[in-house]
């Protein structure tokens, strides 16, 4: 999709890009041939400089270059060339509020396998692992996961970032992660009904009792979050591409369906749910 993208060029917005596509400029090389009529010599000269740089940056797999040039609403286009270097990331925290809150667990999924990191054990390893990826994909990460990760771990995450919460809202899929999962047919099975507040309960149970089943269940919940993000990202990509002339030409590989490496303790979940009124109906 990036080689068919013009809205990152100076003076070219969504309407002009549509006009370029309709006029036959479907890829960057077409603009040199058709641009004088479609844009005019002056605008074409400006666009040509950045278009040449775009080709060089794409060959160098510089996702951050395109992330900086694209309108934020068009960040989904990064999936076309960087889906094979995407890190789907989600965090859990103590839920104590700013100043007292800290990360309890991190899950990272790259389309092949899930890695999880735990407070007091190996959170620092996330810093080394995330460097291997060019594209960050989260759900509500722009306002939650990213600032907490960067502040607490003192790291710089990839600036090429797709926040699925906002991107999915643009195609009418609004609400929290569990709601949009159900909208595309995803089922969490034995973890259905668990939420971020319950993740806090699981961490507190682990800290207070040392019960490894509580930590294992928390990690299973965290991993389930990132495993669903890949499916949601592809749903977003299909919906967005359907709004372009390239719906039949651009297809991302289907998710591999990697298994969750952690197993929730359903008996523990039921016992903990029974302690809290908000969950008793599900216990």
pLDDT tens track for 24-52: 999 999 988 888 888 888 888 888 889 99
Strand partners, 91: 106
Cα–Cα distance list, 112 to 215, 255, 259 (Å):
23, 9, 9
Cα–Cα distance list, 60 to 4, 57, 63, 102, 230 (Å):
17, 5, 9, 36, 24
**Edge-to-edge strands, sheet with 103-109:** 114-118, 103-109, 86-93, 135-138, 161-163
* Model pLDDT, residue 281: 67
Indicate yes or no: pTM above 0.85.
yes
* Model pLDDT, residue 193: 87
* Model pLDDT, residue 42: 82
**CA angle, 203 then 205 then 207, to 5°:** 70
Helix (H, G, I), strand (E, B) or coil at 68: helix
Helix (H, G, I), strand (E, B) or coil at 50: helix
Interhelix angle 266-275/196-209, nearest 10 degrees: 100
Mean pLDDT along residues 4-11: 92
* Model pLDDT, residue 277: 84
| Helical residues (DSSP H) of 83-211, grouped into ranges | 125-130, 145-153, 164-169, 177-183, 196-209
Distance CA 63, CA 52 (A): 16
**CA angle, 115 then 223 then 112, to 5°:** 50
Spatial contact of 162 and 79, defined as CB atoms under 8 Å apart: yes
Mean pLDDT along residues 139-144: 96
Distance CA 249, CA 113 (A): 28
């Amino acid at each position: 999709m990036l080689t068919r993208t013009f809205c990152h060029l100076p003076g070219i917005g969504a309407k002009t890009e549509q006009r370029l596509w309709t006029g036959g400029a479907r890829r960057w090389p077409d603009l040199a041939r058709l641009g004088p009529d479609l844009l005019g010599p002056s605008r074409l000269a400006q666009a040509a400089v950045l278009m040449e740089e775009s080709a060089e940056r794409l060959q160098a797999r510089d996702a951050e270059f395109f992330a900086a040039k694209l309108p934020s609403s068009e960040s989904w286009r990064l999936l076309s060339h960087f889906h094979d270097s995407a890190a789907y990331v989600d965090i859990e925290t103590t839920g104590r509020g700013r100043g007292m809150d800290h990360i309890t667990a991190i899950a990272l999924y790259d389309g092949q396998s899930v890695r999880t990191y735990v407070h007091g054990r190996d959170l620092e390893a996330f810093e080394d692992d995330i460097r291997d990826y060019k594209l960050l994909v989260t759900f509500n990460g722009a306002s939650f996961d990213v600032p907490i990760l960067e502040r607490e771990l003192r790291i710089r995450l990839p600036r090429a970032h797709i926040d699925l919460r906002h991107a999915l809202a643009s195609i009418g899929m609004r609400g929290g992660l569990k709601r949009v999962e159900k909208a595309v047919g995803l089922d969490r099975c034995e973890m259905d009904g668990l939420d971020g507040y319950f993740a806090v309960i699981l961490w507190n149970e682990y800290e207070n009792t040392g019960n490894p089943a509580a930590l294992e269940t928390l990690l299973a919940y965290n991993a389930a979050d990132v495993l669903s993000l890949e499916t949601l990202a592809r749903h977003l990509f299909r919906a967005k591409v359907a709004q372009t002339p390239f719906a039949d030409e651009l297809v991302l590989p289907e998710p591999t369906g990697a298994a969750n490496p952690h197993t929730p303790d359903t008996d523990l979940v039921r016992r903990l749910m029974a302690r809290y009124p908000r969950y008793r109906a599900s216990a």
